[in-house]
């Protein structure tokens, strides 16, 4: 897993050419993912308090971070192309959020399994941290939705000018 994190970070900070079809595919995939994620959070909110509120706030926070990421990205314009390099610190932050969410989920699962209540005992341990974990996932979704919207917008402005 450490190697995959390093490779993810390197790929996330690489200089890339902005392509309209890549931005559109990413936005469609993110729209589907976000919709399914929020529907799952709404369903989970039946049993877990704040399971919808925290992801909504996380999505808004991630959206704002994506806008900041667009401002901090390095943009290189050429007559027929647009290249960008995402900000290393924000890519690192998103990578660490994903890592923390996965590790927390593993810990929570192990802890719930180890301290499983007797049948019929209603324990809140299994739901511990679910809303926060959903919020972390929503931050990442919000970040990438706004980032790819911004890449698409800049590309349209560049090619339209």
pLDDT in tens, 65-124: 999 999 999 999 988 889 999 999 999 998 888 888 888 878 877 877 777 665 555 445
**Through-space distance between the first and last CA atoms of the chain, rounded to whole angstroms:** 44
* Top-confidence residue, 133 or 122: 133
pLDDT for 122 equals: 45
Beta strands in 10-151 (DSSP E): 16-17, 74-78, 81-85
Give the separation between CA 100 and CA 102, rounded to whole angstroms: 6
**80 DSSP 8-state letter:** T
pLDDT for 4 equals: 82
Q: Give the pair of three-digit tokens for residue 88.
A: 């290393």
């Amino acid at each position: 897993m450490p190697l995959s994190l390093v490779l993810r970070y390197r790929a996330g900070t690489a200089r890339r050419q902005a392509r309209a079809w890549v931005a559109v595919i990413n936005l469609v995939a993110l729209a589907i993912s976000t919709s399914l994620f929020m529907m799952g959070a709404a369903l989970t909110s039946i049993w877990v308090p704040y399971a919808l509120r925290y992801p909504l706030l996380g999505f808004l926070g991630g959206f704002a971070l994506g806008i900041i990421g667009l401002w901090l990205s390095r943009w290189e314009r050429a007559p027929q192309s647009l290249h960008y390099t995402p900000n290393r610190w924000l890519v690192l932050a998103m990578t660490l959020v994903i890592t923390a969410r996965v590790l927390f989920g593993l810990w929570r699962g192990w802890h719930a399994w180890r301290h499983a209540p007797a049948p019929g005992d209603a324990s809140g341990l299994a739901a511990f941290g679910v809303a926060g974990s959903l919020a972390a996932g929503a931050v990442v979704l919000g970040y990438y939705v706004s980032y790819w919207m911004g890449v698409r917008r800049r590309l349209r402005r560049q090619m339209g000018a």
